[in-house]
Amino acid sequence: MDKIIVRGGNRLSGTIPISGAKNAALTLLPCALLTDEPLTLRNLPRLADIDGFQHLMNQFGVTTVIQGSRPEDFGRVMSLEATRITSSVAPYDLVRKMRASILVLGPMLARMGEATVSLPGGCAIGNRPIDLHLKALEAFGATIELAAGYVKAIAPDGGLPGGDFDFPVVSVGATENALMAAATANGTSRLFNAAREPEIVDLCNMLVAMGAEIEGIGTSDLTIHGVKRLHGATYRVMADRIEAGSYACAAAITGGDVTLAGAKAEEMQATLHALQAIGCEVEEVKGGVRVAANGPLKATNLTTAPYPGLATDMQAQLMALLCLAEGTSVLKETIFENRYMHVPELARMGANIETEGRTAIVQGVARLTGAEVMATDLRASMSLVIAGLAAEGETTVRRLYHLDRGYERLEEKLQLVGADIERVGDD
C-alpha cells in the first residue's frame, strides 16, 4: 500500500486548482436514475468514491462513458445513461465502503417503484443513522422494510404520491434523498428544516436543469412539485469548498500565500471567517480566493454546525493549524460524536491537545516534529498532511485510501505550490 512522505518547512506559494466537489458529485450521479436520457457531468473529480459510485450505477444497468479524459488533467467529464434499469438492488460489496451509496434509494424508488439498498459504510466518525432518509420517504408514501442488513423501500402502485416532512434535525443526506424522490412524485412535497448546504443548492439546480420544479432553493423550506418525467442535461459540478478550505489551512500553517482557483468565497464563509480569526489574510480575487499568513497564528474558539455554520468536514484541518497558534483554542464538534481520532496522531507529532467528549482543547506549541502517522478517516488524513507541511523533519502518512476518497491528486497539487511531498510504494 502507498504512503505519503512530507518533508516540512517549505512555504507554500502559488495557485492550486480546486476540483469539483466530492460531496456534490456523489449526489448528482444518482440523478441519472431519474431519466432514460443521458446525463453529462463536467468537472467530476478523479476520486476513489466517484469510481465506486460509477460501479454501483453500472450494477443497475446504467452505462457510463468518460469523455476525452487525459491522465494529466484534473477533473473528468462523465456521461451516464439509464435507458433500462436492470436491477434495483445495491449490494453490500459495493455499498459497504461508501455511505453516499444510500443516495440511490430515493431516485431508484421514484423510477422503479422499489429499491433494496445495503446499509452503508464510509468513514468511522460516529453514529450516522439513516432513519431520517427512511422517515422522509415514508412521508412521501413509501413502505419501508429492514431485514438482514438491507433497506427495502416500496412505492404504492402508480408511484409516490408525495407529502410533507419536517426534519427534526438538519440532515444533508436525507434532504438529498428526499429531493430526488419527490422530483417525479404524483403530487407536491414540502420539506421543512431542510439542509441548506451549497451541495444541496447544486443538486436542486441540476434537478431544475432536468425539468424539476423546486421552490425555495437555498432556504430551509423546499417545495417540490412532482413532474411526470425528467429529461437529460449537461451540468458542471460545483467547486469543492472543503478541498479549498483544506488547502487554505495548508497555506496558512506554512506562512504561505496561495490562490485557490475556482473556489467561491460565498460558499465557504464560515471557514474563511475562522481563518481570519486565526490571523490569516483572506481576499476574494478574480476566479478564486487568496489566503495568506504573514504573521503569527492566533488561538481561537470554533464550533461546528450545519450550514451556514462551520462545516464538520473542516474541523480536523483547522485543528492542525491551531496546533501552532499562540494560546489556547477550544473546538466543539456538534455534528458527529467520534471525530477526534486524529488527535492521538497529531500528538505523535508534538501537538498538545486534550479532549473531553465533543470538546477539544488545543494548547499551541512552538513546533511540530515529523513522525509516522496513520490516517483514520478522510478529513483526519488531511489534517496530518497539513501538520506535516510545517513539522520539522519527515512525516509519513499511511492508509492513503482515506485520502484518495476525497482529494484529487493531493500530492501533485501541493507540489505545484512548493511542498516537498511524494507518494511512494510501501516497503
- Binding-site residues, in ranges, read 22-23, 99, 128-132, 313, 335
Count of CA atoms in the C-beta half-sphere (13 A) of 116:
10
What is the number of other CB atoms lying within 10 angstroms of the CB of residue 82?
26
φ/ψ of 398, rounded to 5, equals -110, 170
Which parts of 69-216 fold into alpha helices (H)? 92-95, 105-112, 131-139, 172-182, 198-209
| Among 123, 204, 249, 280, the one annotated catalytic | 123
d(C-alpha 421, C-alpha 332), whole Å: 31
Please name the helix (run of DSSP H) or strand (run of DSSP E) that holds residue 277, with its range, or none.
helix 269-278
3-state helix, strand, coil in the chain (%, to 5): 35, 30, 40
Cβ pair 220, 145 in contact under 8 A:
no
d(C-alpha 170, C-alpha 173), whole Å: 9
d(C-alpha 28, C-alpha 25), whole Å: 5
How large is the angle between the packed helices 172-182 and 198-209, nearest 10 degrees? Answer: 10
323 is catalytic: no
Q: CA angle, 213 as apex, 210 and 219 as ends, to 5°?
A: 110
In order, the DSSP letters of 212-280 are: -EEESTTSS-EEEE--S----EEEEPPB-HHHHHHHHHHHHHTT-EEEEET--GGGSHHHHHHHHHHT-
Annotated binding site for phosphoenolpyruvate: 22-23
Give the strand pairing for 301-303 and 328-332: parallel
d(C-alpha 99, C-alpha 121), whole Å: 5
Give the strand pairing for 188-192 and 164-166: parallel
Residue 226 vs residues 51, 123, 178, 199, 214: alpha-carbon distances, Å: 31, 34, 12, 21, 9
* Residues assigned a catalytic role: 123
